[in-house]
Chain A
Amino acid sequence: MGVTLDILQGTFGPVILGGAMIGLALALLRILTGRVMSASGMIGSLLGGREGLAATSIAFIGGLFIAPSVLVAVGVAKQMPVEAGWPFLVAGGLLVGVGARLGNSSLLGSIHGVTQRSRRAFATLFAIMAGAGVAVALRQVLGTGGVA
């Protein structure tokens, strides 16, 4: 079983750069506003109407939403996501929603927690990766559902 290294294909830099920007955003958001960078957490706090958290949640989500337009405006080529078929999107969305609410679990939230050496976050991150691995294997069996 081989390993595809993007460094060999010359696309290694953007992944490292983009990842670093995500990490920087996570740290800055925490230091400046005290918020944990987790979209499911922010959507959840909006649904529950927690006072004081709504304004920063809306502002952060707004930033995510306008990011593609801003990048296109500064000359970064537009790229669209290659999406799965609707049954996968609906089933996956429902599972993510229930999971996020059940255990306060989220991908970036658990990465944040791991930087703080939280054992709970370690366990959550491992669980998320395990679940994703199972689902990806399942999709190999069920068919790709739209993703080439």
Chain B
Amino acid sequence: MIRLAALFCGLLCGAGLIISGLFQPALLQGLANPAGAWDITLGLGIVSAFGVAAVILGLTRGRSRPLLGGEAEPIAEGQTGKAVVGGVLFGLGWGLAGFFPLAALVALGMFAPGAGLFLASVIGGMLVHDLVANRGRFRIEGLRSGG
């Protein structure tokens, strides 16, 4: 059941990315149009997603356990410096490639070759980080979430 719910959420998110056009790499380029016109589509989509999520999560505030069982992933705290450096690198990569991982997974579902290359590079980047950070040993540091 929990897997079915996760599958449905992936489907819903993927459909949202396609319908909104937010998976399109070219969208980010609209933020820096040489003609000087700003395309605010990207911002509008993000605000819409944020608004809906904030309202629903706000209404269910206080519920700490997932409905389908298990433990909720904690929201990361502390280490803001690392988060900011990581965020800048993430943003630089997003801006250069045009994809962020969610969008690339949707594009991979369209059998877009570049999305596969991008995702392989993301995994490569993660492995490189872990090799450097842990001196050759692969280990997860803490839980991901909350940015």
B139 touches A84 (CB 8 A): no
Beyond A32-B5, A67-B14, is A106–B54 a contact (Cβ under 8 Å)? Answer: no
B84 touches A50 (CB 8 A): no
Q: Identify which of A4, A20, A39 contacts B52 (C-beta below 8 A).
A: A20
A104 touches B49 (CB 8 A): no
A28 touches B18 (CB 8 A): no
Q: Chain B interface mostly helix, strand, loop or mixed?
A: helix
Look across to chain A and name the residue whose beta carbon is closest to the beta carbon of B83: A103
B13 touches A34 (CB 8 A): no
Q: Within 8 Å CB of A133, what residues of B?
A: 31-32, 91, 95
Q: Within 8 Å CB of B33, what residues of A?
A: 4
Interface size in chain A (residues, C-beta < 8 A): 126
Beyond A23-B48, A96-B100, A133-B32, is A103–B82 a contact (Cβ under 8 Å)? Answer: yes
Beyond A6-B41, A81-B114, A121-B147, is A135–B126 a contact (Cβ under 8 Å)? Answer: no
- What separation, in Å, do the CA atoms of A20 and B82 have in the docked complex? 30
Look across to chain B and name the residue whose beta carbon is closest to the beta carbon of A28: B9
Interface size in chain B (residues, C-beta < 8 A): 125
Minimal beta-carbon separation of A20 from chain B (angstroms): 5
Minimal beta-carbon separation of A9 from chain B (angstroms): 10
Q: Counting chain A CB atoms within 10 Å of each CB, which of B16, B24, B29, B98 scores highest?
A: B98
Q: Within 8 Å CB of B66, what residues of A?
A: 30-34
Name 27 A/B residue pairs within 8 A (Cβ), A-sorted. A1-B37, A4-B38, A16-B20, A36-B73, A43-B119, A48-B139, A52-B70, A63-B6, A76-B18, A81-B107, A83-B107, A91-B97, A92-B95, A92-B97, A97-B127, A99-B85, A99-B92, A100-B86, A104-B86, A109-B144, A115-B58, A116-B57, A120-B80, A121-B75, A128-B88, A131-B94, A136-B28
A-B CB proximity, top 3 nearest: A97-B125, A63-B10, A103-B86
Instruction: Give 20 A-B pairs besides A19-B16, A33-B66, A98-B89 with Cβ atoms closer than 8 angstroms.
Output: A2-B37, A19-B45, A32-B68, A33-B9, A53-B73, A60-B7, A60-B10, A64-B106, A67-B17, A67-B109, A83-B115, A84-B97, A91-B97, A92-B92, A93-B125, A97-B93, A105-B87, A110-B146, A124-B84, A127-B88
